[in-house]
Amino acid sequence: MRIIEVGKVFDENLPQFSGAQLGLFGDGLSLIISLQNCHEEIVKDVNKGEFELALTIKDGLMFFLFRLNSIGWADAPFTLKYYDNFDTENFDYNKIQVFLVDASNGILKSMCTICPNDEFQEELKKEFKRQNNEDGFNDYEYNQKMQEIYNKYSSEDLLKFSVVKSGVGSISMETMICN
């Protein structure tokens, strides 16, 4: 059992980074937002859970975009190919655990659960099924293509290619117990 608590180190095994990372968390998704400057306005935004979301598929790559008032639009690329035996049918598409981490020390500053609308969930499921059925993943080519996209487009530019957008409902938390 693992206890995740605001004010404590989020994950001792997580390398320190600045940016956003989307990953699988239990039977749902997690969005880790790791920033060098986690000022109080960002913490309040995450606590409120007032996110806007968008899903962009560009050149076969998936980008999970999100917006908070305090930081504007940002993105996290994602592929299922780094996860073994992913079950698209029994996955919980209706919630995303969000963790705001101070990149300088790994301390969890805020966390909440956000719930995208039905249309967003359906598009996400459709994209996960497409990725799951894709053959011949090449890590080098994936990263090369991602770099080419980042060289051409900002997060706001990627938003123009989104297949779906969503506002979300949320639940703010101070502690989470995980199996």
Q: Using one digit for the tens of pLDDT, what is the confidence trace for 7-19?
A: 999 987 777 778 9
pLDDT computed for residue 172 by the predictor = 56
- pLDDT tens string 146-166: 999 999 999 999 999 999 988
Question: Among residues 119, 122, 101, 123, which one has the least CA distance to residue 110?
Answer: 101
pLDDT computed for residue 178 by the predictor = 44
Q: What is the mean pLDDT of the chain?
A: 87
Higher pLDDT: 156 or 49? It is: 156
Higher pLDDT: 36 or 167? It is: 36
Higher pLDDT: 177 or 134? It is: 134
pTM of the model: 0.89
pLDDT computed for residue 179 by the predictor = 41
- pLDDT tens string 66-76: 998 888 999 99
Mean pLDDT of 50-63: 92
Per-residue pLDDT for 25 more than 60? Answer: yes
Q: Residue 82's CB: how many other CB atoms inside 10 A?
A: 12
Q: Which domain holds residue 72?
A: 2-178
21-26 contacts: CB < 8 A, separation 24 or more?
21/76, 22/64, 22/76, 22/77, 22/78, 23/78, 24/83, 24/86, 25/97, 26/92, 26/178, 26/179
Which residues have CB under 8 Å from 42's CB, separation 6+? Answer: 35, 68, 70, 71, 100, 109, 110
Domain count, the chain: 1
Amino acid at 73: W
Amino acid at 20: A
